[in-house]
Chain A
Amino acid sequence: MNWECCWAKEKIAPDECPYIAEGEKELCSSLGKRVVEKCVECPRFKTDLRKLRDMGYPLTGILPHILAEFADQRAQLLSMGSFLDSKTREINFLHELGVVLQTSMDLDEVLSVAMTAITAGKGFAMNRAFLLLADKERQFLEGHLGVGPRTYEEAWQTWADIDRNNFTLKEMAKHFYDTKLSSEKAKFHDLLERLTVPLADEQHILNRVLNDSKPVLVENASAQPELYGSFAEILGSSSFIIVPLISRKRRIGLIIADNCFTHKPITLQDMQSLETFSFPVAFAIERASLYERLQEEVDKLTSANLKLQEQQELIVKMEKMALVGKITSNIAHSIRNPLMIIGGFARSLLKTVAEQDPKREYLESIVRETRQLEEVLGEVLTYSDSLYPTMDSWDVNQLVSNVCQGLSEKFQERKIQCSLELGPDLPTVYIDYKQISYCLRTILNDSVEAIAGAGEIRLATMRNDDYVILAISDSSRKSELPAGETAASHLFPRQESSSSLGLPLCATIFEKNGIPFAIDYGDDGMSVTIKLPITREA
């Protein structure tokens, strides 16, 4: 018999059956498989069956029924296989998300994973998703994050990018977290603000869903304004799902998702899948939020602990300083009173002793020595004060004017002209006023002593970056320096043999306060430049 179909041949050539495709060549040598997969639906086989029936074979009458049932059963099997495949993919997907959600303590990372999963084609494939979270005070349901395109152009661009990159879901979430999280927040800022509702507004659709703890699939919302109010208008979409995020009966927030660009219908199956997904998301968000708050509290505690340590150190330091201050102060009292009595009476007696009286020389000597001792005592006490400076913002021009005014009589006595060139509109400087006044006074006194006869001292102030420069120069000091000495070591000697504490103390004060200073001896005389910082940081 000449059959049209190949069902009667054990083996066939590939071109004998037009329904065998590339990659199915093993069917050519396997009759059983070929009959089940190809012949039962082959029109040629049906022609052969008709021929057999015409030839009077009785079984050919019932074979079409068996074949129809077989095709139906096979279609069901295929459908179930496809369903199982889809469920397997979903389980794998949820497992992948679950791992991230269960391990991450970073709220932004959790949100990135959740929102990517909802909007990615490899996830729930929704066009847009919005996350609303209850605020800390539980007053508002606040729009927190929106994900998805805002325009059709952006939508096509995004989907093209996704196709090109072929990221896994995890990679997409990481990419979103690293590069797009803040821009997405900004992109939907206006919409998120408008979506925010007070938790007390129990009639609002969002609060109703949250309070019922059940997801809602809304279709054609614009036709039901009494139910959804202006919500659909704000969202710009008529069909959407609202899924509550509940963790241990605690209302965390809501997810709203729609397909406003593709208009693909949202199914009950979509809603159920999202609901299943929402449980671990809500739990992860709550845990990350709690962790964030815990971290804030830990930071506060650490900072408080640090402050406490600093305060303890400060107290110990201040106790030491107070002790030093008390000791020096008591010494000062014990020495200054007798000094004053000795020097005071010597001065009194001096007034009554005639010019030619030999006792006058003794008395002058007492007066001179007590004056020197009083000066040294004053410097020791200044050093004691310098141990704990009182920093504040001061007008440097005012400081210079005050110090010069205090020395004006001395300048007149010594026929020294003091000229000021004070810069206008200078910012205040951050210094210990008393200490810097003392330094300036000491430097000027030193200049006065160094100038032989009449001379000039110039003081100038000017702005230079983060500093105000105070420049002091005298015209009469000789420019020669002793061999082996720098200008600084000469003007601010540190040797123990130095007769005055004043200038070395100035150098110490400048160094302790981080105030740069420089001394220069030129042909025109000596100049000291002091850089006073404008701000605390300088």
Chain B
Amino acid sequence: MAKILVVDDESSIRFLYSQELAEEGHEVLTAATALEASEILQAQPVELLVLDIKLKNESGLDLLQKLVKERHNLPVILCTAFSCYRDDFSAWLADGYVVKSSDLQELKDEIKRVLAKRSR
């Protein structure tokens, strides 16, 4: 199981993810902004980032680019309400892309896949 950081500006979504992913046995940290996420990442090691694209006044894709530059080994899954960013070059930097759904199975499967790939 892994330590996962969830970055989303919606508190309810952060809470839902925390519950569901904790049930899967993961340790879940949450952040509402890119700044908060950066602070957490500097303070402790994280194995996977679940990142929303539309944060309040920020872009998750900008944070993704910054992370790719600074932390090459951190896998990132973009989890967003938008399907259109799948074709965006910036989004290709992520290890996975999931469109938000009330059924979190797809996200859970993607987390398993990405972690398995990283552990190989």
**Chain A interface residues (CB < 8 Å from chain B):** 325, 329, 332-333, 336-337, 339-348, 367, 370-371, 374, 378, 381, 385
Minimal beta-carbon separation of A123 from chain B (angstroms): 70
Contact B102 A343 (CB under 8 A): yes
Contact of B102 among A329, A342, A378 (CB under 8 A): A342
Give Cα A106–Cα B116 distance, bound, in whole angstroms.
75
Given that A329-B82, A329-B84, A332-B81 are contacting pairs, would A371 and B103 also be in contact in the complex, using a CB cutoff of 8 Å?
yes
How far does the alpha carbon of A374 sit from the alpha carbon of B102 in the complex, in Å?
8
CA separation between A374 and B101, bound complex, in Å?
7
Residues B81 and A336 in contact, CB atoms below 8 Å apart: yes
CB of A344 within 8 A of CB of B20, answer yes
In the complex, what's the smallest C-beta–C-beta distance from A340 to chain B, in angstroms? 5
CB atoms of A344 and B102 under 8 A apart: yes
Q: Tell yes or no: B90 within 8 A of A by CB.
A: no
Is the CB–CB distance between A333 and B101 below 8 Å? no
CB-CB under 8 A from A332, the residues of chain B are 81-82
> Given A341-B10, A385-B84, are A333 and B103 neighbors across the interface (CB < 8 Å)?
no
* Contact, CB under 8 Å: A347 / B13: no
Known contacts A332-B81, A333-B82; is A347 also within 8 Å of B104 by CB? Answer: yes
Shortest distance between the CB of A445 and any CB in chain B (Å): 16
- Decide if A343 touches B84 in the complex (CB within 8 Å): no
Closest 6 pairs (CB-CB, A-B): A343-B102, A336-B81, A333-B81, A341-B12, A344-B16, A344-B102
A367 CB contacts on chain B under 8 angstroms: 102
> What is the distance, in angstroms, from A187's C-beta to the closest C-beta of chain B?
59
Q: Would B19 and A348 count as touching, CB distance under 8 A?
A: yes
- Known contacts: A344-B20, A345-B16. The answer to whether A381 contacts B83 by CB under 8 A is yes
12 contacts between A and B (CB under 8 A): A325-B84, A336-B100, A340-B16, A340-B100, A343-B101, A344-B16, A344-B20, A345-B12, A345-B16, A347-B103, A367-B102, A371-B103
B81, A341: Cβ atoms closer than 8 Å: no
A344–B83 touching, CB < 8 Å:
no
Name the A residues within 8 Å of B16 (CB-CB).
340-341, 344-345, 348
User: Would you give the shortest CB distance from A363 to chain B, in whole angstroms?
Assistant: 12
A344 CA to B17 CA, complexed, in Å: 9
Q: Nearest chain-A residue to B85 (Cβ)?
A: A329
Interface string of B64-77 (1 = CB under 8 A from A): 00000000000000
Q: Which of A333, A340, A371 contacts B13 (CB 8 A)?
A: A340
Q: How far is the CA of A313 from the CA of B101 in the complex (A)?
A: 38
How far does the Cβ of B33 sit from chain A's closest Cβ, in whole Å?
Answer: 17
Docked complex: B7-22 residues within 8 A CB-CB of A: 10, 12-13, 16, 19-20
Cα(A329)–Cα(B81), bound, Å = 9
Q: Which A-chain residue is minimally distant from B81 (CB atoms)?
A: A336
Alpha-carbon separation in the docked complex, A371 to B102 (Å): 7
User: Contacts A333-B54, A345-B16, A348-B16 given: A340-B82 contact, CB under 8 Å?
Assistant: no
Separation of A385 and B87 alpha carbons in the complex (Å): 12
Closest A residue to B9 using CB positions: A337
Q: Which of B96-112 contact A (CB under 8 A)?
A: 100-104
Name the distance in Å between A446's Cβ and chain B's nearest Cβ.
Answer: 21
Further pairs besides A343-B103, A367-B102: 19, Cβ < 8 Å: A329-B82, A333-B81, A333-B82, A336-B100, A337-B10, A337-B100, A340-B13, A340-B81, A340-B101, A341-B12, A341-B16, A344-B16, A344-B20, A344-B104, A345-B12, A345-B16, A370-B102, A374-B102, A381-B83
**With the chains together, A332 CA to B81 CA distance in Å?**
7
Is B83 within 8 A of A337, CB to CB? no
A377: nearest chain-B partner, CB-CB: B81
**Distance, CA A404 to CA B19, complexed state (A):** 33
Chain B residues lying within 8 Å of A341, measured Cβ to Cβ, are 10, 12-13, 16, 102
In contact, B13 and A337 (Cβ under 8 angstroms) = yes
**A367 and B101 alpha carbons, distance in the complex (Å):** 11
Could you tell me the distance between the alpha carbons of A381 and B100 in the complex, rounded to whole angstroms?
A: 14
Residues of A within 8 A of B103 (CB): 343, 347, 371
Interface-central residue, A347, A370, A378, by most chain B CB under 10 Å: A347
Of all chain A residues, the one with the shortest Cβ separation from B53 is: A333
CB within 8 Å for A348 and B20 given contacts A325-B84, A374-B101? yes
Instruction: Specify which chain B residues have a CB less than 8 angstroms from the CB of A347 in the assembled complex.
Output: 102-104
Closest to A328 in B: B84
Distance to closest chain A CB from B26 (angstroms): 15
Nearest-neighbor residue (CB-CB) of A334 within chain B: B81
Q: Which residues of B contact A339 (CB under 8 A)?
A: 102
Please give the distance in Å from A321's CB to the nearest CB on chain B. 12
On whether A337 and B101 interact (CB within 8 A), knowing A344-B16, A348-B16, the answer reads no
CA distance A337 to B54 in the complex (A): 11
Closest residue of chain B to A345, judged by CB? B16
For A345, the chain B residues whose CB sits under 8 A away are 12, 16
- Residue among B12, B81, B103 with the most chain A CB within 10 A? B81
Closest A residue, CB atoms, query B19? A348
Closest CB in chain A relative to B51 CB, distance in Å: 15
Contact partners of B54 in chain A: CB under 8 A: 333
Interface centre among B10, B13, B103, B104 (most CB of A within 10 A): B103
Looking at the assembled complex, report how far the CB atom of B13 sits from the nearest CB atom of chain A, in whole angstroms. Answer: 6
Residues of B within 8 A of A329 (CB): 82, 84
Q: Complex formed: what's the CA distance from A347 to B103 in Å? A: 8
| A371 to B101 Cα, complex, angstroms | 8
Residue of A nearest to B8 (CB): A337
A343–B54 CA distance with the chains assembled, in angstroms: 20
